[in-house]
Structure 1
Amino acid sequence: MSQPTGDLRVRRTRKLLREALIALIEERGFDRVTVGAITERAMVSRAAFYRNYRDKYQLVEQIFDEAMAEVRGHVADGDPDSRRARWVAFFDHVDEYHRLYAALLGARGSAWFAARMRSALAELTAPHFAPDAPVPGLLPSVLSAVFVESIVWWLDHDRPVPAAEIADRSADLAGAMITEATGWPPRPWSRRRPAGKK
């Protein structure tokens, strides 16, 4: 019977730490937030923080990794309904944690987190494209930027449409880009030599 109480205590501690992190990012910006400030705001001991997280980066990463795990759980190759469900699940997650994402991706946020999000989304989409595609790796990178910028726009405008709609609109934009890119003819790559070198 002690396990459920322990689980409840851990969930409560993590919730308090997440809420404190969000408030502090909004006030100070991510770079100026310290573990000490997070624990003080959350009224949680440093020992409790370090039982759950290595540092503030891991606290943020855990929230995002939970979202990515859920998104990957919606993947079924070749099934358009599954692909839609994946992006709706992701935007639902962003909606649930909108204050955190608005803080992290806003003007006082973290360039580290924005890059981490783009990288994770690029990794998610990369397996769907042939490795010999023209400009390998470009499309996943650009698509990830489209989704991140869609999130930023949505949060900056106080989520004016439901998560499912912004997911669909973003996926439509991504689909148009994929259609365009899959029509590109293969081109031989040539390396440009710096001026003055042979």
Structure 2
Amino acid sequence: MSNNTTTETLDLRIRRTYKLLSDSLISLLTEKSFEDIRISDICDKAMIHRTTFYKHFEDKYQLLDFLLRQLIKDFEEKSMQYSDTEDSKKYYTNLFKLLLEHMCENKKMYCVGLLKNGSAMKTLQKIVLECVKAKLKNDEASGIKFIVPIDIIADFYSPALVYSAGEWLEEGMPISIDQMVEYCNTIVGALHISDRRK
């Protein structure tokens, strides 16, 4: 067996182990609080020995951190689907809708980890910030003159979008995603931030 084949097999085993442990933790979170979940619970559900768990993770918090990073990476990849050539209002409302849908689909993970994890929340804000900034730069290159510097606009919008989505989730999603998006659309329209005249 070649070294490449051995490495690939090892990588597949590690990925499989990570997936089993991740799926196990996600499943357990539907049954009990994170604080009440023990390593043995995770291992039993994943049908993995405790020694295997400790080969990859120090504790359940490190596994949770791994899951959060995967969650954020997934959102980042999905956020790239929108073209920065889209109409500005549509771009921002689509980005906000994507964030709400992602939080809704991964509700338990966001509630347990992301909303209580400052560094993870900052990473999510940074992704949204980069999306907003890229859109603003594209608009500026296409001839739109902004009344306020792009960095300040991006710094204003990005935390607002992430914080609003986080509050909506923590409050139990009291209104629909479509209604939240409509509010976002209204706010973006009210805060007219550009002037096409040079």
TM-score (norm. length: structure 1)? 0.64
Q: Does 1:150 align with 2:157?
A: no
Q: Which has the higher contact order (CA 8 A, sep 6+)?
A: 2
Number of equivalent positions: 165
2:101 aligned to which of 87, 92, 97: 92
Deviations 1:100-143 (A, max 9, x none): 2223354xx11112211211111111012247853341111111
Q: In the alignment, what sits opposite 1:73?
A: 81
Please give the alpha-carbon distance, in whole angstroms, between the structure 1 residues aligned to 2:78 and 2:40.
31
Post-superposition CA distance 1:63-106 (Å, at most 9, x none): 11102211221335224656544432321111011222223354
Match of 2:66 among 53, 58, 73: 58
Task: Provide the aligned C-alpha RMSD in A.
Answer: 3.7
Secondary structure of the structure 1 residue equivalent to 2:113: helix
Quick one: which of 16, 23, 44 aligns to 1:15? 23
Moved more, 11-20 or 143-152: 11-20
> What is the identity, as a one-letter code, of the residue corresponding to 2:21?
T
1:62–1:175 distance in 2 versus 1, CA, 3 Å: farther
Distance 1:38 1:162 in 2: 35
Cα shift at 1:166:
1.7
Instruction: Return 93-102 or 6-15, whichever deviates more.
Output: 6-15
**Quick check: 128-137 or 152-161, which moved more?**
128-137
Instruction: Report SS of the residue matched to 1:69.
Output: helix
Code of the aligned partner of 1:126: K
Query: What's the offset of the Cα at 1:38?
Result: 6.8
Unaligned runs of 5+ in 1: 29-36, 187-198
Contact residue 87 and residue 171 of structure 1 kept, 8 A: no
The aligned counterpart of 1:195 is none
Q: What percentage of aligned pairs have identical amino acids? A: 12
C-alpha distance in 2 between matches for 1:162 and 1:8: 36
Matches within 5 A, 1:1-198: 11-19=19-27, 23-24=33-34, 27=35, 39-43=39-43, 44=48, 45-47=53-55, 56-75=64-83, 77-79=85-87, 84-104=93-113, 106=115, 109-130=116-137, 133=146, 134-177=148-191, 179=192, 181-182=193-194
CA distance, structure 2, for counterparts of residue 40 and residue 139 of structure 1: 48
In the alignment, is the contact (CA less than 8 A) between 1:98 and 1:155 conserved in 2?
yes
Q: Are 1:92 and 1:164, in contact at CA under 8 Å, matched by a contact in 2?
A: no
Amino acid corresponding to residue 88 of structure 1 in structure 2? K
Tell me, in whole angstroms, the C-alpha distance in 2 between the residues paired with 1:119 and 1:105: 14
Structure 2 regions of 5+ residues with no counterpart?
Answer: 1-8
Cα separation, 2, equivalents of 1:70 and 1:90: 9
Q: TM-score, normalised by structure 2?
A: 0.64
